[in-house]
Structure 1
Amino acid sequence: MNTISMPAGNPDNERIWLASYPPTLPAELPPFEFESLGALFDNSCRIYAKRDAFSCMGRAMTFEQLGANATKIAAWLQEAGFAKGDRIAVMMPNILQNPVVVYGILKAGMVVVNVNPLYTPRELGHQLKDSGAVAMFVLENFAHTVQAVARDTALRSIVVATMGDMLGLKGHLVNFIVRKVKKLVPAWSLPQAQSFRSVLAEGEHLSYKPEPIQRDDIAFLQYTGGTTGVSKGAVLTHGNLIANTMQMMAWLGAEFDKKSATGSLVYICALPLYHIFALTVNSLMGVASGAKNVLIVNPRDIPGFVKELGNHRFNIIIGLNTLFNALMNNDDFKKLDFSSLKLTFAGGMSVQRPIADRWREITGCKITEGYGLSETSPVATANRLDEQDFTGCIGMPISSTDVSIRDEDGRALPIGEVGEICIRGPQVMAGYWQRPDETYKVMTPDGYFRSGDMGFMNERGYIKIVDRKKDMILVSGFNVYPNEIEEVAAMHPGVLEAAAVGVPDPHSGEAVKLFVVRKDPSLTEQEVKDHCAKNLTNYKRPRHVEFRTELPKSNVGKILRKDLRG
């Protein structure tokens, strides 16, 4: 068992999970080798120079090329008059320009504000004004959204990229198809905007001036989804993200370290890089370990996604329940060669056991589930990679991380009791951007972040998440957790997807309503209810079943229960 000194003022937390750690996993991270993400990045670009760092649409970029291009962006930003700490927005999908820009901003000591490209003008306007972003890099497909709000923001420079900018000669064809054939670029007008290619060209002739950057300096404003209120910017420092990168690399262990020393691991990056999960676990961890990330521009195009998978001997795929489900319902996916797949890492939402079982049957690789939030950079817990079976848990706290299950009054609860999952560690954010009131609500006096997720810890230190506090359904005084209902529904062979919410009921206060997407067109409401009656106690059974052709989802594929509540 790993030994560690107890943190002061934390008598309730015995760190029982350390007894479940693999022998080689440190309880505490060693001292940081790098002060900043820019320093970590430069080191990788030097020692892995000739390896591929990212590829997209058949075009690869080596670490040497990535480093050179990022330095051009950094030099251009400095020459344009922007200073350390300035917020720079990035509104791009998974294309090669994304990591070039992000690492350029970090090298310049500025702050990355990741923006969802599918934001409406209202959502974008809020984020730009709240962050005080003074410059922006955007793919032309979404420039019309920027046009709608630019006048009301602090933006002084806008750089517009095209899909084909970094694809060589092929890029001209790609741009023609995107613009003229698929008509994916709505008309836009930003008279002061510069092209991405011109910025790179300018940067090549400018001198980059290294900035002194400390671990406590801000690296990212990572905006939360806004599902519990107005979207807020989680302040993530260089130290937060270096810590989480190191934590995850330690978790991968000797097998992957050995592979990384002899040749590149190949990651599949299907989740968007503006999302914290892909940002840390794909991009930052891939860069730190000299891995190659295969960028999937549009993972919703499942046939195209599967075709791209067929071009690579991939080792690691990172995703979430809905993505895995969609892939497995594609016949060509089942024909792929999975012999190189060593790790399937899931987060973002609970993985349903029927999905995990099918994934292992098809790929031969089990799903390893982890858990985290934007506010925790994101990973806080994970399952051991050598677990023989899918655990149905979110694992145990990773190195240098404490998790305490607490009641409404902040008191630690005994093993097995459901309470709020509270997290403390070097990956926990510095607070919400310019929102001390909101920061106060989520941080405890002893330094824990209140996640808003309900769960319990077992005697081995493994944590089972049961649901968001806001999603809990109260039926005649009994707590009903939608995840449980949805997992049972997914066990029915005629069900493709399901989501459960609470609806008002005159007799029980609330009743369970289940929304179902059929796999079998002949599936009836009564069959769904009968199936649930066999697997759920009476008060948990759905009283209402509504069939839908699809369920509302966020851009990363998380089912939005709030939209189903109406």
Structure 2
Amino acid sequence: MTEHANAQTLNGPELKGMEEYRSLMDVFHVAVKRFADNPAFTCMGQTLTFAELDRLSGDFAAWLQHETGLQPGDRIAIQLPNVLQFPVAVFGAMRAGLVVVNTNPLYTEREMAHQFKDSGARAILILANMADKLEKVLDRADIEHVLVTELGDLYGFPKRFLINAVVKYVKKMVPAYSLPMAISFRKAMKDGAARNHREVEREMDDIAALQYTGGTTGMPKGTMLTHCNLVANMLQARQAIGPGLEEGKEVVIAPLPVYHIYTFTVNCLFLMETGNHSILITNPRDLDNFVKELKGVPFTGFIGLNTLFNALCNRDDFRSLDFSKLHLTISGGMALTKAAAQRWEEITGCTIAEGYGLTETSPIVSFNPVDAVQLGTIGKPVAGTSVKTVDADGNTQPLGEPGELCVKGPQVMKGYWNLDEETAKVLTEDGWFHTGDIAVLQDDGYIKIVDRKKDMILVSGFNVYPNEIEDVVATHPGIVESAAVGVPDESSGEAVKLFVVAKDDSLDEKTLREWCKKELAAYKVPRFVEFRDELPKTNVGKVLRRQLRDEEPSGTEQS
């Protein structure tokens, strides 16, 4: 139960269980032994048990230790969608003492080059489908070891051969590439299986993952998440979500990307620690196949976000599924609308419990109690977590008054990688993290977000920062200035709208969007473009994004 320490701060209950573990590896070893024969992860019909995950991740760790010369603390980039190779690689890398750099497979060459160089990653495991992009940026990174995997690599013959052949030759989803230094994932696993790995001890304060998040400077920042941060948030999830789950018995659908901190913590850590079964959906945008995968699966849990709930509820084939076992639905990543929540409950019979978090908080800050969901709020602070709101001068606000939400707890990041000044802007010396979101702390202990980060755009759960888009647009020779804002969108929650002042009338929307597509991931590319003679500004010349955002959305949507 949430306690009020005073009239200005909300505190979650006491956090339990931290003394059980010395690092994430302790969590892993206990789980794989305790639940050895249970299914851990399933993807496209193939299942890994906890014992198989233990063996395969050990093989990967052995290859890293014997064949690469990488040392504990070195970084390895993992650029994979939801495939079985992901948990194998993540836990194998951590068992070798490495720091995991989760990398979005949707990244463009520019975004990849920045993250690889910034993190100092010395190795990468990448899906063959995007290896052509890696070829073009290797000379801008410090990567020494390249592993390439194909979609079906962890399947047996002949299914492996069929999957990889269809992806490469029928669907033509693997562009040609030349990476002479690359080693196939299957060869690395085979070589690793012939060697013994040595378990590496890590301390709670050691960095476990560099999780990149958008920054107001326009370039992503590496969030240093320690073993303590991730273990704490896993245990916080256990206390907040766990009472409604049965250890080793749950089957949970995981359509959101595992490289995203939301799914990473909930599926790869919390559900693994409790011995439960995650069904990884490789391409949730392919709703036809997504729903087909759900047929016949007695799923008991579902982790999603607002846009996905809406999309599924609009489908007859989804509405005809058997929801009799479903008793837990979790929403995160973006605001949950009451309409979506109510429709989901009408169709599935299951209430959605919304939580709130950020990359910098590993991510969970608050969660709606499953048995006391309050729609329109982000729930109560999780265990070991304190929250307060402050005004523009940093003064703590009383309950019921809006202010910037600040968070303190063991899940709060160590800081931004190599960015001490940026860290100091959001993390106080006494441990309070400033989220940038405007919230009200209610008398009943629940938290309500009343405004999001003033400039951030949330597209299908992904953070999009205007400065990054504007920096790309500014390189076009026909642009005087631009401003990117978020506008409401039925399918993605928000969409990017770009306001542009051009040098002449020859520039059109299509040309500008094609320019953006070369440098930005698809979800960052402006959906709407509006040309103007000038942009509204403050008296010091700063563009008033808020004024643009508050105007009635207009502009032409481009396909």
Q: Which band: TM-score by shorter chain?
A: 0.7 to 0.9
Give the counterpart of 2:155 among 161, 167, 181: 167
How far 1:209 moved relative to its partner?
1.3
Residue type of the alignment partner of 2:90: V
The residue aligned with 1:335 is 320
Give the counterpart of 2:50 among 63, 87, 90: 63
Which segment is superposed worse, 228-237 or 47-56? 228-237
Percent sequence identity is 46
Secondary structure of the residue that 1:61 maps to in structure 2? strand
Secondary structure of the residue that 1:229 maps to in structure 2? coil
5+ long unaligned stretches in structure 2:
458-484, 500-546
Distance in 2, Cα, partners of 1:27 & 1:146:
46
Cα distance change of structure 1 residues 351 and 102 upon mapping to structure 2, 3 Å threshold:
same
Query: In the alignment, is the contact (CA less than 8 A) between 1:136 and 1:155 conserved in 2?
Result: yes
Give the counterpart of 2:369 among 384, 393, 403: 384
The residue aligned with 1:104 is 92
The residue aligned with 1:264 is 249
How far 1:450 moved relative to its partner?
0.6
Give the counterpart of 2:450 among 466, 470, 492: 466
How far 1:408 moved relative to its partner?
1.7
Distance in 2, Cα, partners of 1:162 & 1:377:
29
1:131 aligns with 2:139: no
How far 1:227 moved relative to its partner?
6.2
How far 1:75 moved relative to its partner?
1.2
Distance in 2, Cα, partners of 1:124 & 1:472:
21
Q: Residues 541-560 of structure 1: matches in 2 within 5 Å?
A: 544-546=552-554
TM-score in terms of structure 1 length: 0.81
Distance in 2, Cα, partners of 1:125 & 1:132:
11
Secondary structure of the residue that 1:274 maps to in structure 2? coil
Secondary structure of the residue that 2:438 maps to in structure 1? strand
Cα distance change of structure 1 residues 422 and 292 upon mapping to structure 2, 3 Å threshold:
same
Query: In the alignment, is the contact (CA less than 8 A) between 2:72 and 2:96 conserved in 1?
Result: yes
How far 1:316 moved relative to its partner?
1.2
How many pairs are equivalent? 483
Q: Residues 116-265 of structure 1: matches in 2 within 5 Å?
A: 116-169=104-157, 170-226=159-215, 229-256=218-245, 259-260=246-247, 263-265=248-250
1:400 aligns with 2:388: no
The residue aligned with 1:90 is 78
Secondary structure of the residue that 1:326 maps to in structure 2? helix
Which segment is superposed worse, 408-417 or 462-471? 462-471
How far 1:42 moved relative to its partner?
1.3
Secondary structure of the residue that 2:449 maps to in structure 1? strand
How far 1:205 moved relative to its partner?
1.3
Query: In the alignment, is the contact (CA less than 8 A) between 1:244 and 1:427 conserved in 2?
Result: yes
Residues 292-344 of structure 1: CA deviation (Å, up to 9, x unaligned): 11010000001111111113111111111111111112210000011111111
Give the counterpart of 2:416 among 432, 438, 460: 432
Cα distance change of structure 1 residues 255 and 353 upon mapping to structure 2, 3 Å threshold:
closer
How far 1:548 moved relative to its partner?
6.8
The residue aligned with 2:436 is 452
How far 1:179 moved relative to its partner?
0.5
Distance in 1, Cα, partners of 2:81 & 2:215:
20
Residues 484-534 of structure 1: CA deviation (Å, up to 9, x unaligned): x95xxx9xxxx6666489999xxxxxxxxxxxxxxxxxxxxxxxxxxxxxx
Secondary structure of the residue that 2:93 maps to in structure 1? helix
Distance in 2, Cα, partners of 1:104 & 1:472:
35
Distance in 1, Cα, partners of 2:115 & 2:9:
40
How far 1:31 moved relative to its partner?
3.4
Which segment is superposed worse, 460-469 or 96-105? 460-469
The residue aligned with 1:313 is 298
Query: Relative contact order (alpha carbons < 8 A, sep ≥ 6): 1 or 2 greater?
Result: 2
The residue aligned with 2:348 is 363
Query: In the alignment, is the contact (CA less than 8 A) between 1:471 and 1:501 conserved in 2?
Result: no
Query: In the alignment, is the contact (CA less than 8 A) between 2:307 and 2:493 conserved in 1?
Result: no
1:353 aligns with 2:338: yes
5+ long unaligned stretches in structure 1:
19-25, 474-481, 505-538, 552-566
Which segment is superposed worse, 307-316 or 53-62? 307-316
Query: In the alignment, is the contact (CA less than 8 A) between 1:86 and 1:111 conserved in 2?
Result: yes
Query: In the alignment, is the contact (CA less than 8 A) between 1:3 and 1:27 conserved in 2?
Result: no
TM-score in terms of structure 2 length: 0.82
The residue aligned with 1:423 is 407
Give the counterpart of 2:276 among 256, 280, 291: 291
Query: In the alignment, is the contact (CA less than 8 A) between 2:241 and 2:370 conserved in 1?
Result: yes
* Root-mean-square deviation over aligned CA pairs: 2.5
Query: In the alignment, is the contact (CA less than 8 A) between 1:269 and 1:296 conserved in 2?
Result: yes
